[in-house]
Each structure stands twice: as C-alpha cells, then as structure tokens.
Amino acid sequence: VSQLVRRNFSSSSSLNGKIQEVVIIGGGLMGAGIAQVAAQTGHKVTLVDLNQQVLDKSNARITDSIKRVAKKQFKEDAAGAEKFIESSLSNMNVATSANDALTSADLVVEAVVENMGLKQKLFADFDKIAPAKTIFASNTSSLPIS
C-alpha cells in the first residue's frame, strides 16, 4: 500500500497533530489568497511557484491585502494593525522549489492549473518527500478528485 493511500485512510491519532506549516503550490490568485489566510491565522507558509515573477507579484498582492485587512480590523488601534501586519508577513515565505518546505509540512494545498495529470504528478512527487503526517489537499474547482 502506497504512502498516499495510507494518508487517505489513516485514523491514527498520532497523525492528527496541529497544523503549523503549510505549503501552497501555485502562486496565482487562488494560491496567494490561501497563503494569505494561512499566514494571517498564524501558520508558517511557503508559497511555491516555478516563476519568481509570479511569486513577486503574489507577495506584493498579499502584502497590500494584509494591510487592507489590518486597516479594517484595527480601525482604532494603529499599534494592533502594525503588529498584525508584521506577524502575518513574518509567516510568509516564497520559493521556486517545494522540496525544502515539504520536509516539515503539515498541510500541502495545490492551487495549480486545472490539469489532472499535473496535479497527480505533483502529489506523487511530493508524497516521496513529505512526512507521513502531511495532509494533501487540492483547490480544484472543476476536476473530480474523489
């Protein structure tokens, strides 16, 4: 039985630890949005894309969005807003390779193009690197994955 199948059917409580490290594969709009929310909620995040320019744009978009969220959530508390921004941004990392981040990932979310072959290849490759505790998730909107 492959490790991927064991992940799907595992009920061991030792594998149900707290999610602390999140790896998002795909730096487009959806991937960046998922990364932002994870960073804002205190998770260590690595956003991965093969294209550094995509990562740079995503990082800028995430920074701007976090600042907007802070402005709304901390209208009367400038210090709180600044702390929220600094904390959220300190949780964000970007990379053009997932390998280093996968070695300690608790959750991997793919947000790549809607290509089943690509998604399957990514999960098969990542399954060889990630620890057994890692949960794999897909952000697909139109492909059946069950």
| 97, 48 Cβ separation under 8 angstroms | yes
Q: What are phi and psi of 12, to 5 degrees?
A: -65, 130
Whole-angstrom distance between the N-terminal and C-terminal Cα of the chain?
Answer: 18
Structure confidence at residue 142 (pLDDT): 79
Cα 136 to Cα 39: distance, rounded to the nearest angstrom: 18
| 18-45 pLDDT per residue, tens | 999 999 999 999 999 999 999 999 999 9
Per-residue pLDDT band at 14 (split at 50, 70, 90) = very low
User: Using 50, 70 and 90 to split pLDDT, how confident is the model at 132?
Assistant: very high
User: In angstroms, rounded to a whole number, what is the distance separating the alpha carbons of residues 140 and 17?
Assistant: 25
pLDDT at res. 24: 98
pLDDT greater than 50 at residue 107: yes
**120 to 84, 97, 140: CA distances (angstroms):** 36, 17, 12
- Taking residue 56's Cβ as centre, other Cβ atoms within 10 Å add up to 13
pLDDT at 7 over 60: no
pLDDT in tens, 69-97: 999 999 999 999 999 999 999 999 999 99
Q: How is residue 133 annotated by DSSP?
A: T
**pTM, 2 dp:** 0.86
Contacts of 65 (CB under 8 A, 6+ apart): 36
**Which residues does 70 contact at the CB level (< 8 Å), separation at least 6?**
81, 82, 84, 85
